[in-house]
A = this chain, B = another copy of it.
């Protein structure tokens, strides 16, 4: 075939197809040959558009991150109700962030691991930092808030805590694990357990930040 008069591939098409494939079958399902085949093209063609396979994965991760809603940080968010607060914005963002990652769980390791030098990651950092400073947080704390929220949300989206438990009482020898007598019950409700832990943690973080904020404002 050689060079067609109109390019068969584009970065966008590669990212799109890779994303679908990863959502369906996981990151391990992606090989350059497999992805290329899915695109109707031969393996090495991809290297005309990306330098490495890792770069493709990073681009997919960035595309997912870009879907996270940030509108709650807008200066004029909820102007009518007048109840904007850095705390509710942070909570809403956390929930939206997690929901987006949970919709694309297979790419989360790439997203969480990378240094986050991707454009969408910077856009998030910018929005959070800007909103926190505007709300009265000192810059150093505003930076920390963006970081710690990322730690918590990606950590929660990465691994299921509840999935660690099997639905079999015999698996938990009371000698080894004296307090896990009911642990096998967790297996039945993995989803709720992880969701509950996330909600509890998110609320704790925000309650805790309120305590710190009050201490700062006091001075």
Contacts and interface: CB of A to CB of B under 8 A. Distances in A.
Interface of A: 109, 112-117, 119, 121-123, 125-127, 129-130, 133, 139-141, 143-148, 150-156, 158-166, 172, 176-180, 182-183, 186, 193-194, 196-198, 200-201, 203-209, 211-212
A121 B179 contact: no
Contact of A147 (B114, B178, B180, B194): B194
**For the complex of A and B, 3 pairs with smallest distance between CB atoms:** A155-B155, A204-B208, A148-B201
A125 B186 CA distance: 12
Contacts of A204: 148, 204-209, 211-212
Contacts of A122: 164, 172, 176-177, 180, 183
A154 B159 contact: yes
Given A113-B159, A144-B201, A197-B144, A126 B178 contact: yes
Given A145-B200, A151-B201, 18 more contacts: A112-B155, A113-B158, A119-B176, A126-B176, A127-B179, A129-B179, A143-B193, A146-B161, A148-B197, A148-B201, A151-B152, A153-B155, A158-B158, A203-B208, A204-B204, A204-B209, A205-B208, A208-B208
Nearest to A133: B179
A151 B148 CA distance: 11
One complex includes copies of this chain to the number of 2
A22 to B, nearest CB: 15
* Residue of A117, A122, A161, A212 ringed by the most chain B CB atoms within 10 A: A161
B198 A159 contact: no
Contacts of A141: 200
A201 B179 CA distance: 28
B115 A147 contact: no
A147 B161 contact: yes
A200 B212 contact: yes
A159 B207 contact: no
B182 A140 contact: no
17 contacts: A116-B163, A117-B163, A122-B180, A125-B183, A126-B177, A126-B178, A130-B178, A140-B196, A144-B196, A144-B197, A145-B197, A146-B197, A147-B197, A200-B212, A203-B208, A207-B208, A207-B212
